[in-house]
């Protein structure tokens, strides 16, 4: 079992080592503090949470009727990579989109990134040498044209995460190489992330993050207890539900206006939190009128989770402080969802759309080259499978360049109508994945788990 306490103790030694090796002039000419902001880690943890909530708010508007599933953590990691090389307005816009407080300098973010990278490498070595309760991997890669003069400090910062490649001679081969790396990192769950025509001879930069999670429920569902019944979504469908009656962390959230349950995975470091609006809110979903959208319980719930001060505070308290325990009869659908986000639309909504605009984005910080680098497109794919045993979830993000009223207390937690769910890592205090289950997709159910 990995001891998070041991990792935290090691981080002190790593931080001292990192401080002694960072070149403060690497990022901007003004970044030369001798010591980092002592609150930087806590501020950046909160910044990532705020980014995750902001992205959920935007994605829910972009995908107003369909299911949603993506990894805020993956998108955040990819944008942080771009932020390190950004300059001027691009840097300012990315800092704002990433919710980084103004008082933190880029050197604070660099130090935190270097520290986290070292901790992840140490944790991975422990995972390889001991039995763990779940699999969790997150990895970054930067592919930069071999024709560019990469700054030495960037090589020091990213190390083996940065790879020089020859896009010009064989872009299709590079595409296959990147897609293979993503597929391997996500255990084959995310394939062909970058389309066959996504990279060409003019490509000079590809930033990629891949994340994979597989966990078994702390309280497994018995396959014999699964049953078929109606799911009341945008269209009513018959689905297979998993059922069990056990003790869970559970509450009726006043400010969120939802029933909330925590379903932990083995080890209890990572959990799925499910937020279920009152059933009455689901009855308008079959109506496509404007008034029904305004009455949509999911829309109201997400607004409370992401933009309402009291709701956001209650959500943070739930994630960090937990909920009271009680016996709950849980009914939850089995499902598999694969989604691709319209990243260009999302980046515009987050205020970072200029990152993709030719002759606008400024990414000169990566190279000693007057022309700098450019990005032309972005893609994010994610997949989740939930069954009686547990959950498998994966996602990948690539940024690349190319030419072109209070609810009544329920007797049961019956998720038979649209709900929001979050997979949360309490150690890193990160939302790894999040989704909105509005309607069943093509049935993937079988009688096997």
Comparison of pLDDT for 105 and 441, the residue scoring more = 105
Task: Name the DSSP letter for residue 447.
Answer: S
Q: What is the DSSP string of 302-350?
A: HHHHHT-HHHHHHHHHHHHH---EEEEEEEEE-EEEEEEE-HHHHHHHH
Q: How far apart are CA 81 and CA 228, in angstroms?
A: 45
Q: How far apart are CA 410 and CA 213, in angstroms?
A: 31
Q: Mean pLDDT over residues 342-366, rounded?
A: 90
Q: Mean pLDDT over residues 265-283, rounded?
A: 85
| pLDDT band at residue 124 under the 50/70/90 scheme | low
Q: What's residue 97's pLDDT? A: 97
**Tens digits of residue pLDDT in 316-331:** 999 999 899 999 999 9
Q: What's residue 389's pLDDT? A: 95
Residue 446 has pLDDT above 80, yes or no: no
Separation of first and last alpha carbons in the chain: 26
Residue 127 has pLDDT above 70, yes or no: no
Q: What's residue 115's pLDDT? A: 79
Q: What's residue 333's pLDDT? A: 97
Q: Domains along the chain?
A: 23-46+68-215+337-400 (3.30.497.10), 217-336+406-437 (2.30.39.10)
**Tens digits of residue pLDDT in 416-438:** 999 999 999 998 999 999 999 99
| pLDDT band at residue 4 under the 50/70/90 scheme | very low
Comparison of pLDDT for 247 and 12, the residue scoring more = 247
**Tens digits of residue pLDDT in 130-141:** 556 889 999 999
**Tens digits of residue pLDDT in 221-247:** 999 999 999 999 877 899 999 999 999
Please give the backbone phi and psi of residue 38, each rounded to the nearest 5 degrees, phi first: -65, -20
Q: What's residue 276's pLDDT? A: 95
Q: Mean pLDDT over residues 155-170, rounded?
A: 90
Q: What's residue 5's pLDDT? A: 44
Q: What's residue 71's pLDDT? A: 97
Q: What's residue 102's pLDDT? A: 92
Q: What's residue 377's pLDDT? A: 86
Q: What's residue 35's pLDDT? A: 53
* Model confidence pTM above 0.85: yes
| pLDDT band at residue 25 under the 50/70/90 scheme | low
């Amino acid at each position: 079992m990995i001891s998070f306490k041991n990792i935290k103790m090691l981080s002190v030694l790593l931080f001292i080592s990192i401080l002694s090796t960072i070149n403060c002039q690497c990022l901007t000419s003004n970044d030369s503090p001798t010591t980092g902001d002592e609150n930087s880690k806590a501020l950046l943890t909160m910044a990532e949470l705020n980014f995750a909530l902001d992205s959920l708010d935007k994605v829910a508007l972009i995908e107003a009727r369909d299911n949603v599933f993506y990894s805020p953590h993956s998108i955040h990691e990819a944008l942080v990579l771009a932020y390190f090389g950004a300059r001027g307005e691009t840097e300012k816009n990315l800092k704002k989109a990433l919710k980084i407080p103004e008082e933190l300098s880029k050197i604070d973010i660099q130090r935190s990134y270097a520290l986290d990278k070292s901790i992840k490498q140490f944790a991975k070595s422990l995972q390889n040498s001991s039995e763990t309760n779940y699999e969790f991997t997150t990895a970054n890669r930067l592919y930069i044209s071999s024709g560019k003069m990469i700054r030495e400090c960037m090589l020091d910062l990213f190390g083996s995460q940065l790879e020089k490649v020859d896009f010009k001679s064989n872009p299709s081969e590079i595409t296959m190489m990147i897609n293979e790396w993503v597929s391997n990192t996500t255990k084959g769950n995310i394939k062909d992330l970058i389309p066959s025509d996504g990279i060409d001879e003019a490509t000079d930069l590809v930033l990629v993050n891949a994340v994979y999670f597989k966990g078994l429920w702390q309280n497994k569902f018995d396959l014999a207890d699964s049953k078929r019944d109606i799911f009341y979504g945008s269209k009513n469908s018959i689905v297979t539900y998993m059922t069990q009656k056990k003790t869970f962390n559970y509450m009726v959230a006043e400010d969120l206006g939802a029933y909330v349950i925590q379903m932990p995975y083995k080890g209890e470091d990572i959990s799925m939190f499910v937020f279920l609006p009152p059933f009455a809110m689901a009855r308008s979903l079959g109506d496509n009128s404007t008034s029904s959208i305004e009455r949509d319980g999911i829309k109201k719930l997400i607004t409370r989770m992401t933009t309402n001060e009291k709701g956001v505070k209650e959500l943070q308290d739930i994630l960090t402080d937990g909920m009271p325990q009680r016996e709950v009869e849980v009914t939850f659908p089995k499902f598999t969802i694969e989604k691709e986000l319209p990243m260009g639309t999302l980046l515009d909504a987050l205020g970072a759309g200029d990152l993709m605009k030719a002759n606008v984005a400024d990414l000169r910080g990566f190279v000693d080259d007057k022309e700098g680098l450019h990005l032309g497109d972005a893609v994010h794919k994610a997949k989740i499978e939930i069954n009686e045993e547990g959950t498998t979830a994966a996602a990948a993000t690539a940024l690349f360049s190319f030419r072109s009223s209070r609810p009544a207390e329920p007797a049961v937690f019956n998720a038979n109508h649209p709900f929001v769910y979050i997979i949360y890592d309490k150690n890193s205090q990160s939302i790894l994945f999040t989704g909105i289950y509005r309607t069943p997709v093509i049935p993937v159910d079988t009688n096997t788990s």
